[in-house]
Amino acid sequence: MTAPDVLLGRLLDLHPKRIDLSLGRIQRLLTSLGEPQRRLPPVIHVAGTNGKGSTIAFMRAVLEAAGLGVHVYTSPHLVAFRERIRLAAPGGGKLVSDEALAEALAAVEQASAGEPITFFEATTAAAFKLFADHRADVLLLEVGLGGRFDATNVIDAPACAVITPISIDHVEFLGDSIAKIAFEKAGIIKAGAPVIVSAQSDEAVAVLEREAARQGAPLSLYGQDFLCRAERGRMVYEDESGLLDLPLPRLAGRHQLVNAGTAIAALRRCLPDLSFAAFETGVVKANWPGRLQNIGRGRLAALAPKGAELWLDGGHNEAGARVLAEAMADCEDKASRPLILLYGGLQSKDAAGFLRHFVGLAAEVFALPVRGEQAGRPPEQVVAIARSLGLKAESCSGAEEALRALARHDSPPPRILIAGSLYLVGEILAANGTPPE
């Protein structure tokens, strides 16, 4: 059997563009595959700019704690493509095997018959085939980009739609305002299906409310219909059905309370009989690699200064930087350390908007290259941007060089944050020897 990597490489060549938002091509391909999207378990469809993966991680952990079988589709991957597809299994879902993935990709390649299809469309079709061919109780389905014309939006009747916080990102595809981006995200709202909306700006809420009303979709808003907060070392969730007094999530950062609350609201709406014990276990067990992940072991971790903290996060836009800076400030309040930011981002992202949140917080910025198929911003550009904001900055050939340089400094053990791109996170996890599972 042809290896998955070979098949994935061939699928990359079936369309001249990496991204070309449309539903026509995938609908044609799914028809050739026998309409697997019509044989799926109940779908919880998740769109948004930030927090999609963490919200899905909370839902998966709760559902599996309740003994339910859960399929999961997320993107992008960090180290290996098969991270994107998790299949339900006794005792908890497992990443798709190379053999099963290769079989599904081969079926897609044959069904496509050489017709133009983007990589994400082809791989989404393969995921749908896998999900249709393996039993589960729920499918947690993450939008790839936008919503309205995303390849996942061939689902006609989801159990519910979830929309996580919306901010400015991917303006070349979705528009240059919150209202335009919210309009694209609102495309996953379907007639009569409940919509759970996380914390949003007023501008985004107005757009989502209009679309929900047009579709006759019951709407639940964070801060109005449900809320989650930290209180006395616990997490308190509240909605019209009452309170849940739960442990704090293992996932770090204040923003994870919002993601956890959104996940709980969606599950209480779609599966009202879930037990308290499932929520209690799930919020603690939820794990989402590369999102404020503390790296304590591994090859790169060993290069850091003795006693240093090493954190890793794939946040790459201005809103992501804001919550990262808040999290680092919270860490500083608990235990004071100099913060060192190792930043590497894509050319298409707003480096100044990201770095601005670390002015007065980061003692120094090390600019790293982002390697791979995406166009990384040259470290020299990052240094110039950082210095223009008043940040001390220098460029490095990679995280290893930066960590070795820090280890030579005669200073207190620092708190080190590596951030700016999920592609950079993938590089770090692979180099450290700690791939996601």
Distance CA 155, CA 240 (A): 29
Nearest to 369 by CA among 381, 352, 386: 381
How high is the pLDDT of residue 437? 75
End-to-end CA distance of the chain: 24
Residues of the chain with pLDDT under 70: 1, 373-374
Distance CA 127, CA 180 (A): 29
**Residue 148 belongs to what H/E stretch?**
none
How high is the pLDDT of residue 169? 84
How high is the pLDDT of residue 375? 83
Main-chain phi, psi angles of 311, to 5 degrees: -115, 150
Main-chain phi, psi angles of 346, to 5 degrees: -80, 155
Region of 229 please: left (phi>0), alpha (psi -120 to 50) or beta. Answer: beta
Tell me which residue has tokens 């995280």. Answer: 399
Main-chain phi, psi angles of 269, to 5 degrees: -80, -40
Nearest to 426 by CA among 371, 377, 347: 371
Nearest to 58 by CA among 283, 272, 269: 283
Classified as helix, coil or strand, 241 is coil
Question: Contact at 8 Å (CB) between 40 and 130?
Answer: no
Nearest to 430 by CA among 80, 6, 73: 80
